[in-house]
């Protein structure tokens, strides 16, 4: 985890905590004394509210704990190859054009406008896609274990010839 990721994690945790405190404050504000309802009914309603709040909290905690380890940057694989990709109206240029099978780090830059970088396996299935913006290097790490011809299709409309914006590279054994 680098500095930016740590900052985002801490910030996200802080915002979540503020949200929980806010929720509890709302819950507390709804239980003023001296309502017109009989005490026994109020007591029942309060108990019901407490159960719902507890259930919501348990669900959030279960989802948080269950998904935290799955955040990609926590168990990011070490790449075997780095592939540099230039996206431009209307082509993708991949360097190198032959990549040995393994984990590949894609670094994608745009020469002109926003493009969508959609990586397709030799069987035609979409492997992964990222957004490419001018002036920014977009990165994507994927395991490419199956040799063959991979295609890159632009997934964001970028001009009159967008539908022909295709690139390709070979994954070798």
Binding site for Cu ion (CB under 5 A): 115, 154, 158, 162, 165
100 burial level (CB within 10 Å; 0-12, 13-18, 19+): middle
Closest CB 120 distance from Cu ion, rounded Å = 15
- Give the residue with the Cβ less far from Cu ion, 110 or 171: 110
Distance CA 90, CA 85 (A): 13
Closest CB 118 distance from Cu ion, rounded Å = 10
- Give the residue with the Cβ less far from Cu ion, 80 or 156: 156
- Give the residue with the Cβ less far from Cu ion, 105 or 156: 156
Angle between helices 39-68 and 3-29 (to 10 degrees): 170
Distance CA 30, CA 108 (A): 52
- Give the residue with the Cβ less far from Cu ion, 148 or 159: 159
- Give the residue with the Cβ less far from Cu ion, 53 or 130: 130
All residues at 6 or more sequence positions from 14 whose CB lies less than 8 Å from its CB, including other chains: none
- Cβ atoms of 107 and 83 within 8 Å: the answer is yes
Closest CB 106 distance from Cu ion, rounded Å = 16
Which of 72, 73, 67 has the alpha carbon at shortest distance from 2? Answer: 73
Closest CB 115 distance from Cu ion, rounded Å = 5
Torsion of CA 30, 35, 38, 40, to 10 degrees: 30
Closest CB 117 distance from Cu ion, rounded Å = 9
Torsion of CA 130, 83, 125, 149, to 10 degrees: 150
């Amino acid at each position: 985890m680098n500095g930016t990721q740590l900052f985002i994690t801490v910030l996200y945790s802080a915002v979540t905590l503020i949200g929980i405190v806010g929720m509890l404050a709302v819950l507390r504000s709804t239980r003023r004394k001296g309502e017109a309802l009989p005490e026994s009914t109020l007591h029942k309603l309060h108990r019901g509210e407490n159960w719902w709040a507890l259930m919501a909290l348990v669900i959030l905690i279960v989802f948080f704990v269950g998904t935290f380890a799955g955040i990609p940057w926590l168990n990011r694989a070490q790449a075997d190859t780095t592939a540099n990709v230039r996206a431009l109206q209307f082509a993708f240029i991949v360097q190198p054009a032959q990549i040995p099978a393994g984990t590949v780090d894609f670094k994608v830059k745009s020469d002109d406008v926003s493009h969508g970088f959609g990586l397709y396996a030799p069987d035609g299935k979409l492997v992964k896609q990222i957004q490419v913006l001018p002036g920014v290097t977009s990165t994507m790490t994927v395991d490419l274990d199956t040799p063959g011809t991979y295609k890159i299709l632009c997934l964001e409309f970028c001009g009159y010839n967008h539908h022909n914006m295709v690139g390709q590279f070979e994954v070798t054994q």
